[in-house]
Each structure stands twice: as C-alpha cells, then as structure tokens.
Amino acid sequence: MRDCCGLLTLKNEPGKNMGSVQLKVQGFVADVCSTLSYENSESSPVEAVFVFPMEEDSSVYDFHAEIGGVKIQAEIREKQEARDTYDDALSSGQQAFLLEESDESRDVFRLSVGSLPAGQKATVCLSYVTELAVEADGALRYCLPAILNPRYTPAGLCLPVLQAQSLTTPVSGASGGLVPYSLSFSAHLASPSGVAQVKSNCDLTPLEYLRDDKTQAQVSLSPGHKFDRDVELLVYYSHPHQPTAIVEGGLASATPGSLMGDPLVMVSLYPEFPAAASTPQSSCGEFIFLVDRSGSMDCPMSNMESGPMRIESARDTLLLLLKSLPLGCFFNIYGFGSHFEAFFPESVKYTQQTMDSALGKVKGMGADFGGTEILEPLKDIYSKACRPGHPRQLFVFTDGEVGNTKDVINEVKKHAGTHRCFTFGIGEGASTALIKGMARVGSGHPEFITGKDRMQPKVMQSLRFALQPAVNNIVLNWDVPAGLEVVPVSETPKVLFRGHRSILYAQLKGKFDESAVGLASLQYSLGDEPHKTEISFKLQSDKHTGLTTHRLAARTLICSLEEGGSVEGEGEDKEKVKERVVKISTEARVISTHTAFIAVNKDLNQAVQGPLIHRNMWPQRRSLRGQALSYSFMPQVEMLCDDQSDMFCGDVMYMDSGFNAMSYDTAPDAEVKEDPMLTLISLQKADGSWELNESLVSVFEKKEQEAISKMPAEVSDKAVWATVLALLWLHGFRADLKEEFLGKRASLKPCLEAGNRLLGCKVEPQTLAL
C-alpha cells in the first residue's frame, strides 16, 4: 500500500485543496486566521477527517464553515455532547463539522467534515491566538506547522494515537509524484518599539513598512510556495526586551464579575539580574542528558532536499553542552528508545578523562533503540538521590513522537521540587505539547532545533539558564487605586532567568478611573539580596486588541486547571476540575481537552443521499534526498469505526515497536564540510584550553608551522598560545557566539598582540577581560 496523506479519492488521487493563513502580530502576541477549501470530486458523499498540528499554547477561539454558500457558525460544547451531536447529524443525513483537541496532546487537533456531497465545495476557517516565543537572539518566533510526526504507543499501553500529518503537507498522486497543497500566507506586524527585520526558512516577499516610524509592516510568502515543511517566521524588534502592560476591556455581553466580563491586564516582564549575581556557578550542579535514540531520530531534520539527520543534530547539541560544563560538576548521559541505557552507573565528576570517555560514546550514538519510551528512563533518573550541593538539571533531547504526552509531563511535575527540566525539540514536527510542557512544569526552558543555523546560541542559552543561581521568594505585587481589586489569573512564576520573559495575566474587579495608573512589581531574592522588576501602566483599555488578552488568559487558566487536576484530582475532584474547565471554555469560546466546536447545517432542505465514505490522513515522510521513506508497520491497519468516543479511532495506529525497519532509497551522501565552529568546540579541553595542532589551526585556515613561528618568544606553553588564538578567532569572526567560552580561559594577555597579527583581527584586551 502506498503511503499517502491528504484527502484521497476512490482512485487514490488527492482531492483539490487550497489554504490561506493570515497572521497578525501585535507586540509578542499572534492572532491567526487559517482557511482550508476542499472540493469533493468523488461520486459519493464523503466524511473527511483531517488531523493536524498546532502550537501547544495556542488558544482556538473561533471555527466556522461555509458550504453551498451558507455560513455555519460553530458552537463550543462539552466534548462528548459535541460528538453525539455530530453523530446524530450524520446519521440523519445532515452536514456537520466537528473540531476537537486530542485527549493526549494539546498540540494535535482533529477536524471532521461530515456528509460532503459529491461535487460540492466546503471551506472551513479556524482562528486562534498564541504567545510568541523569544529566541536566544531576541527574535519572536512564529511557526506554522506543516508536519505532524507519528506518535509512538509505549509497550503495554493501549492508547488511541494519531498517525497522520498535516492536511497541508504534500500528497502522492497516482503517478507517485508529489502534489503540494497550495498555500497563501500573509503577516501584518505591529510593535511600538519598531519592526527591525523579518527572517524565515521560506522565501518571503520584501518587507513593506506601512508607517515611516516602522511600527507597522507586512510580509508574505513568495508566490508558488510548496507547503512541504514548517513555515518559521522570525520577527526582530528594535527593542525586544522592553517591559509592556496592556489593559483590555471586558466583553459587554458577558456577566459582570466573570473572566470575560471584567477588564484584564497582561504584563510582560524581563528580569535583569545584577552582573555580580548573574555570574554562572563555577563548579556546582549535576547535569543529566536524556537523548532520544529511537528509530525516528534517523529521519531528516526537515523536508528540505539536504540537511542533517535528527540524531546528528542531537549529537552536535550534546557536544556543545559537554564542552561547556564547569569543572567540578557531575554529569551522566542516558539514551532511550524501547529500552534505555546510561553511560555511567551513577553520575561522574566532570574531568578531562570522563569528558573524553563520554565524547567517545556520543560519537557512536545511533538511532537504533526502537520505539520512543521516555517515561521509564525518567523514573530511573528520579529514583536516584540528588547530590548535596549540586542541584540536578535534566536536559531532554527528542523529536517528541510519543503518545503518552500527559503521563510524561505529570512525571516531570511530580519531581519538579528537586529537578529542573530543559528540553530540546529536534527537527520539524516535534511535539510542542511535550517539549513545552516538560519545561514548563519542570521550571526549565524549551528550545526547538530545526537546523544548525541557530543551534549554538539556543543550546548555550539553556545552559546559562541552568547555571544561574536559584531565585527564591518570588512574589508578584500590585499597586492600584482604591476600589480596584486585582485577581491573578496566571500563577506567579516559580523560576526566573536573567533576560527571560515572564507573562502574567490578572483580572481587574471594581470601578476605576481609566486615566489612573497601576503598578506591577515582581520581587525576588538572589542569595540574600532582594531584587525587584516593575512596570507602571495606564488603566485605559487598549482599543485594538479585541479579546486577545482574555482568550490567552482563559487558555492559561484552563491549562493550569487541567495540569493540576490530572495530577492531584481523583474521583469527585477530577469531575469538579472538568466542570470548571468546561464552564470557562464555553464562556470564553476557547477550546480545551474537555470541549469541542460543533457546527451543523440546519438549513439543508433534504438529507444527503448515498453511502458515506470515510477518508483519513496517512503518514508520509521524505528522505534526505527527497525520496519517500518506507515505513514497516506490523501490522499496518486502517481502523474505521462509528464510535466517536474512541478518540481518533479512524487513524493508522502503531501496533509494533516502531521504526526498527526503515528502508532508505538514497544515494551515498556527498562529503559535507564540517562547521568550523563545531570543530573548534570538539577540540576544547575540559578546563577550557586548546592544544596547538593541525586540527586547530585548520579552523583558522592556517598551517601549524606558521602558527608556531608567530608564537611570542616569552611564551613557552603552546597551550596558552593555542587558547588565545581560539578566543581571538571567536571574538574576531564569530562574535555572536563569544559568550559560550568566556567561563573557561587561562591567562592569555601576553599572546594577544601576536595573535591579532597572525589572524588579521583587532580584538582589544578589555574584550577578553584580560
């Protein structure tokens, strides 16, 4: 059977699909309207089932459809009630649409289009808002996912797991060639600090400024874009770390005193620790690296024609971290798949010998451990006692293809008091629910690695966060006029990192003068020293936000309730949590795990005639050179059933251990020149120095003898000379990465002038703090 994805006809040909996405970015919040049009070219009515990915923290607030010129507005209801309504509509020959979030993962949605007659067109439109992540270089990142990786079901569990890709990925036509869906994508950007530039992994039209002060701009995907990979947009503001506060008026039709009826304030703070307090710890910490070695890690990072495999990126990421650990700390490395293995029985002290031993094993790491079972190695790590005086930091590297996402997140949350969890999503299609969820409950930081271009600063940012001293006694205070009460919606942050954004939501109850001013103050302690970050804001409502703040706040509250209820709630408590989630979800029109959007075409004059054909998504991957990968499913089963209570029962399910039997139809790879930066990192010693040899000087495009001849006469140690050359090269030619190695260096001042002459750069002594 040929693996295809998309809506297929009886002749195994793709249906006619096209989509459009309109993105509005206001500050650090994105409002997205996504539209998909489909025409049923079959001779019988079709029930189309689309499964597609979405960012984990997205808040879907509107869904409607248009069929036969009639607009059908969806209502949000309790999930089982919505499913029953959908089933009843189809059984009576009516047309219906059902949009629901996965029970197991917040970043996966299922859209069912029921009873679409032969030859008829349908258009579905959904809208959502989301907070934009801040990258290590200050960019705001928006991602439009094109790929939903198959989710592996751990052994012994019976989970209804999704095995599909986005409705917008390429499909295989009858001839076997790729037939991409058409996509139009436009973005309107607005920020009072000014839009500096926009970058993307896809071709864009030139950035067009709509105002002379550059506070508004627009950009689009270039015509002819093939939606065969995630669309990543990086927006750079002139002053990205400015604290902001926005007050949004309540919904006039909502009940006064409710979340939607009262004004809300959204505060974004960037704590800046004093330089003395933010110095990285020199030798404290236990660092556990948990690396995905399942078969799916042997897939390409993206659908691009060339590029590294995921396991290669994981090895490079691990190399960066191992070379940057402080002397005297402890570390260990786990690999996991269907089983797991640790490099050392217990964490070992970080020395030149243990680092060399670990690096040798890292180089031999392959994607050869079968399925993706992360829960058991987590339990093994948590079962080991922490070392006194060495706070444990867990770093997880995975493509996120697991079906028990909530179980994994709950396990991390149980042990958040003794561990911090930093996560790296490797490759396109990594589960944002898993990567962000583990980091959120583990008081860490998530990163997504989709290529080598920005891997290094992302990795080092997470390590700097892990090395920062613990922040204690975090308290959020509000100073507002008399008669006004501030009710927090989001929890006070449990962890703070220098320069890391904290977003807080609060409800404003009571009467107040909109010309008055409020003050939000985040207080915390570093060691014995108290510190404070604050921002004042006008209580006047912003007229241009719509209900964005309310929708994001509702989603934040729902997620907090769901996560708290899933761990602590039992019996009646769980039911109470569900009732509250359903109430907030329906009032705010924001979808949740317990609710769904349902739309029924009640204006249809007669029932749809003929047998209803089910059409489901099928997974397809691309190899490194563009050929299709062949997956081995044991057995490969299409399960079609009428019982909607078994979530996603119509999708292909893994019944085996996963990806052990992949075949690649690819030509041998052409020789790829290694990144000189990674070469330099691989040559660094545990104490931060380098040895003078041919491998090192080749990074500088010099010969070893030439480097030796230029060494100052008063310097007798070649390692000192080699180290200053390495640091000069970093500062002179890779200044964007210079902070990665400043914590490890010898006394190098005598070599500075000679090194500048040899390398042809001009680095001042104060730059190296000499």
Sheet arrangement for strand 75-78: 75-78, 595-600, 96-101, 108-116, 46-53, 613-615
Q: In the predicted model, what is the mean pLDDT of residues 327-331?
A: 90
pLDDT tens sequence across 204-245: 999 999 999 999 999 999 887 777 777 889 999 988 777 888
Residue linked to tokens 């969890």: 421
pLDDT at 718: 86
Q: Which of 581, 654, 33 has its CA nearest to residue 259?
A: 581
pLDDT bin (cut points 50, 70, 90) of residue 178 is very low
If you average pLDDT over each of 301-310, 422-431, 724-733, 754-763, which comes out highest? 422-431
- State yes or no: pLDDT of 607 exceeds 70: no
Domain 16-239 annotated CATH 3.40.1090: no
Q: In the predicted model, what is the mean pLDDT of residues 155-183?
A: 41
pLDDT tens sequence across 581-600: 999 999 999 999 999 999 99
Q: Which of 234, 30, 236 has its CA nearest to residue 131?
A: 30
Q: In the predicted model, what is the mean pLDDT of residues 359-386?
A: 91
pLDDT tens sequence across 480-520: 999 899 999 998 888 888 777 888 999 999 888 888 999 99
Question: Which tokens in the block code for residue 762?
Answer: 């001009």
Please report, for the chain, the start and end positions of each structural domain, with discontinuous segments joined by +: 16-239, 286-297+306-390+392-464, 676-768
Largest CA distance in the chain: 96
pLDDT bin (cut points 50, 70, 90) of residue 578 is very high
Question: What is the share, in percent, of the chain residues with pLDDT greater than 90?
Answer: 30
Q: In the predicted model, what is the mean pLDDT of residues 525-530?
A: 79
pLDDT at 403: 75
The CATH architecture assigned to 286-297+306-390+392-464 reads 3-Layer(aba) Sandwich (3.40)
Establish whether domains 16-239 and 286-297+306-390+392-464 are of one fold.
no
pLDDT at 621: 36
pLDDT tens sequence across 438-489: 998 898 889 988 866 567 778 888 888 888 777 778 899 999 999 899 999 9
Lowest mean pLDDT among 26-40, 305-319, 428-442: 305-319
pLDDT at 641: 32
pLDDT at 468: 77
pLDDT at 99: 94
Q: In the predicted model, what is the mean pLDDT of residues 703-710?
A: 87
pLDDT bin (cut points 50, 70, 90) of residue 148 is low
Q: In the predicted model, what is the mean pLDDT of residues 614-619?
A: 46
SS3 assignment, position 380: helix
Lowest mean pLDDT among 211-225, 645-659, 749-763: 645-659
Q: Which of 141, 144, 121 has its CA nearest to residue 55?
A: 144
* Spatial separation of the C-alpha atoms in residues 673 and 696, rounded to whole Å: 15
pLDDT bin (cut points 50, 70, 90) of residue 158 is very low
Residue length, the chain?
770
- State yes or no: pLDDT of 372 exceeds 60: yes
pLDDT tens sequence across 71-129: 899 999 999 999 999 999 988 888 899 999 988 788 888 888 888 888 888 888 999 99
Burial 151-162 (b: 16+ CB within 10 A, else e): bbbbeeeebbbb
pLDDT at 179: 40
- Tell me whether strands 96-101 and 595-600 are parallel, antiparallel or unpaired: antiparallel
* Top-confidence residue, 225 or 684: 684
- State yes or no: pLDDT of 427 exceeds 50: yes
pLDDT at 613: 58
Question: Which tokens in the block code for residue 253?
Answer: 């039709």
pLDDT bin (cut points 50, 70, 90) of residue 69 is confident
- State yes or no: pLDDT of 292 exceeds 80: yes
pLDDT at 639: 27
Spell out the alpha helix ranges (H) of 510-597.
548-568, 572-588
- State yes or no: pLDDT of 1 exceeds 80: no
C-alpha dihedral, 392 to 397 to 400 to 404, nearest 10°: -30
- State yes or no: pLDDT of 10 exceeds 50: no
pLDDT tens sequence across 529-546: 888 888 999 898 877 778
pLDDT at 176: 35
What value does the mean pLDDT of the chain take? 77
pLDDT at 412: 93
| 394-to-376, 412, 680 alpha-carbon distances in Å | 15, 10, 26
* Top-confidence residue, 149 or 643: 149
* Spatial separation of the C-alpha atoms in residues 260 and 507, rounded to whole Å: 9
- State yes or no: pLDDT of 22 exceeds 90: yes
For residue 407, count CB atoms less than 10 angstroms from its CB and return exposed for 0-12, middle for 13-18, buried for 19 or more. Answer: middle
